[in-house]
């Protein structure tokens, strides 16, 4: 289904914050089906597009993920603030494939040369502008070329985890894995019988 939107007119954009990325207040008008024109203001956080990847091993039936502290989850009730996640990062002017190959090496220590794009999605379209590109790639022990843990200049502090696929699926049910992108990638692997 394709819906053409030719009745949206942006009338004002105000930068509320550009401390980390850009928080904008956008005022726009739109015409409803009955012909009436309405004006609304909404805030949108523009942090750039990103990419995520889940490494999997078909022989050992394992996946590679990371654990790190996420402040927004902590202030929203996650008692430790720690999250188990698929490797991910912002594109920073790269194409998604280049980005995810670099992020994989920085965060997990694995060097991958072949990645498979599986989907792309807006993760929080009501308030955040970013599109996330999702990838999977096979890994094995000889591809471990570094220690991982994240990039020093970015002050990342990641722990690399190798987890059995069945255990990872149980961790979703138990609430130990609560990150949307990670759940989507784990479900993709399971639905496509890759692990």
Backbone angles phi, psi at 55, to 5 degrees: -85, 140
Q: Percentage of the chain with pLDDT > 70?
A: 93
pLDDT in tens, 83-127: 999 999 999 889 999 999 999 999 999 999 899 999 999 999 999
Residue ranges of the chain with per-residue pLDDT less than 50? 1
- The predicted structure's pLDDT at residue 148: 81
- The predicted structure's pLDDT at residue 112: 96
- The predicted structure's pLDDT at residue 1: 46
- The predicted structure's pLDDT at residue 35: 84
Provide DSSP, 116-168. Answer: EEEEEEESSTTTB--EEEEEEEE--GGGB-S--S--GGGT---EEEEEEHHHH
């Amino acid at each position: 289904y394709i819906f053409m939107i030719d009745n949206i007119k942006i009338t004002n954009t105000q930068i509320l914050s550009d401390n980390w990325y850009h928080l904008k207040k956008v005022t726009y008008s739109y015409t409803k089906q009955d012909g009436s024109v309405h004006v609304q203001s909404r805030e949108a956080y523009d942090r750039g597009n990103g990419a995520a990847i889940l490494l999997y091993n078909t022989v050992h039936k394992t996946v590679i993920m990371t654990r790190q502290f996420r402040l927004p989850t902590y202030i929203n009730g996650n008692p430790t603030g720690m999250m188990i996640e698929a490797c991910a990062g912002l594109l920073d002017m790269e194409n998604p494939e280049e980005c995810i190959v670099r992020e994989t090496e920085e965060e997990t220590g694995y060097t991958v040369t072949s990645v498979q794009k599986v989907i792309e999605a807006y993760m929080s379209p009501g308030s955040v502008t970013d599109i996330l590109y999702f990838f999977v790639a096979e890994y094995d022990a000889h591809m471990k070329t570094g220690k991982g843990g994240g990039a020093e200049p970015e002050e990342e502090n990641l722990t690399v985890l190798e987890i059995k696929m069945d255990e990872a699926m149980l961790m979703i049910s138990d609430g130990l894995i609560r990150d949307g992108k990670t759940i989507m990638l784990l479900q993709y692997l399971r639905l496509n019988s890759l692990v």
